[in-house]
Structure formats: C-alpha cells, structure tokens
C-alpha cells in the first residue's frame, strides 16, 4: 500500500494506492463523514487483480481543506477535483466503487466520460428517488427555505453519537470495529469542518436534481453494475438498489444484512462479488 499526495489545481489531494498500475484501475470514492480509510480492508482483497486507488475528497480526510469562504464546497466542484486527480495520475479507463457522497461524484464523471467507465459498484450510493429514506423529507424543506436556524440544526450530523450511529445502525451488536468512526470523529475537530460540511448538505439538492441525468446514462450505456446495499440503511433505503434494474439489464442487486457502512462488516463478501465479476 502506498500513501501519497498529488497537486490538483493548487491543492493537495491525498490518496492510497495498491496493486499493479498496468492492471485495470479501480477508483474508490468514499462518502460522508468518512474518507479513503473506509476502503482499508477492501483494497488488499483487490490489489492482486486491479490497480486500486482511493483519494480523499477536498475537505475530507488528509486532503487539503480550505475554509468554506474561500472554496466552493459543492458536489460539482468536488467532482472537478476528482477529475483533476484522474488527470494528474494519468488514469483513463476505470472501474469505480461509489458510496454515499461518492455516488453523485462518480456519476458526474460517468455522465461526462461514459466511455471511460468499465463497471460500477454502488454500495448505498443512490441515484433514485426511491432510494431516499424518510430523513430526506426534512432536508427538502430546508433546501426550499434555507434558514440559518435549519443550517445549524443539521450540524447534528457531525456529532460523535450521530457518526457512531451511522456505522453501527442496522448492524449486529459488537460487529463494527471502532477504528473507522473514531478517525471520522477526529476529522470533525478540524477548523471550519462544520461549515464546509454544512455547505455540502445544502448542495445535496443538486444531486437529487441530477438523478434523471444519472439514470439516462445508465439506460443509454447499460454499464455493468453491482448494487451491493446495506438493506438496513435508513439514509439510502434498499429500494434505491433495486431501482437500477429497471434501467439497466446489466445491473445485479445484492442486499446485505447491514446498515449504511455495510462495507465495514461485509468487505470480504463485497470483494468477492467484484472478483467474481471482473477479475
């Protein structure tokens, strides 16, 4: 495993990388509130068959995190930096694994570069209205009427107990290692964290608005998709996984007994799904 940074538009993007760069690339795109460390158990399972690479988005993990008044924390802009990362690393065609926030970023890339996508793993990475859990109704009200009071109320998403709940909810008691959520909680202590993440919560509406565009890509290009979903996830419910099959004859759905961070407990199973399909 290699750990390094590369400059993209003047900012340092941290990444972890393993495997032979002459083999097909697997790009791993993390979600909220985590970073590339969420793939620490999966990458060793894939490195013999793929060139595996996982960047931290700007504002997350070990990548640079400019203050929100000096950087536009939108999903379009985060996509621009992942796009620049791919250019800097000279990565052309690739498989991609998308989770949570990584889904709109990954599908933004797929819409822009459909011929570069070799296959997709969507793990609780939603692009359908059917996949939005009940919690999103409140967020829609916030997007329609973005008061400062509501912005403050959504900062509860960054509290330690909320982050722990994201990892452990829907999982068997004692099955989730504290390593991942402990590191994520540490990252919330960085300066300006709550403000830049609040900007992204507000901008998530742009992803929902883009769902028809993402679905059109899936219908038109019929990519091979593994929808590996924690069926107990309250944020992105399992109907979001099943929805892929209505648009894509090459989509397969695997509902796993876990929650939002199902990769924590099912990385071996997900890794085997990938190897069985593409190795």
User: What is the CB-side half-sphere exposure of residue 79 using CA atoms within 13 A?
Assistant: 18
Q: Are 95 and 27 in contact (CB under 8 A)?
A: yes
Q: Tell me the angle at which helices 102-112 and 75-88 cross, rounded to the nearest 10 degrees.
A: 60
Measured on CA atoms in the order 250, 106, 230, 243, is the torsion positive or negative? negative
**Catalytic position from the list 30, 51, 260, 266:** 260
Assess whether 51 carries a catalytic annotation.
Answer: no
Strand 117-123 to strand 251-256: parallel, antiparallel, or no bridges (unpaired)?
unpaired
Non-local CB neighbours of 211 within 8 Å, separated by 6+ positions? 127, 128, 129
Residue numbers annotated as active site: 260
């Amino acid at each position: 495993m290699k750990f390094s940074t590369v400059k993209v538009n003047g900012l340092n993007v941290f990444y972890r990388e393993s495997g032979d760069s002459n083999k097909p690339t697997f790009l791993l795109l993390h979600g909220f509130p985590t970073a590339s460390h969420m793939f620490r158990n999966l990458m060793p399972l894939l490195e013999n068959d793929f060139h595996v690479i996982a960047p931290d988005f700007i504002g997350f993990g070990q990548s640079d995190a400019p203050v929100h008044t000096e950087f536009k924390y939108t999903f379009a802009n985060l996509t621009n930096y992942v796009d620049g990362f791919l250019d800097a690393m000279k990565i052309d065609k690739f498989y991609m694994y998308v989770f949570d926030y990584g889904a709109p970023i990954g599908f933004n890339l797929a819409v822009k570069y459909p011929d570069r996508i070799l296959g997709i793993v969507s793990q609780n990475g939603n692009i359908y209205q059917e996949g939005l859990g009940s919690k999103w109704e409140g967020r829609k009200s916030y997007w329609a009427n973005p008061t400062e009071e509501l912005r403050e109320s959504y900062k509860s998403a960054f509290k330690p107990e909320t982050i722990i709940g994201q990892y452990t909810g829907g999982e068997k008691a004692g099955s989730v290692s504290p390593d991942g959520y402990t590191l994520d909680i540490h990252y919330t202590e960085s300066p300006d964290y709550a403000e830049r993440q609040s900007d992204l919560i507000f901008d998530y509406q742009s992803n929902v608005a883009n769902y028809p565009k993402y679905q059109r890509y899936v219908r038109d290009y019929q990519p091979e998709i593994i929808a590996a979903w924690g069926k107990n996830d309250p944020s992105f419910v399992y109907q979001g996984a099943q929805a892929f099959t209505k648009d894509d004859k090459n989509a397969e759905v695997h509902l796993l007994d876990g929650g939002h961070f199902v990769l924590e407990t099912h990385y071996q199973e997900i890794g085997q799904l990938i190897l069985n399909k593409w190795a």
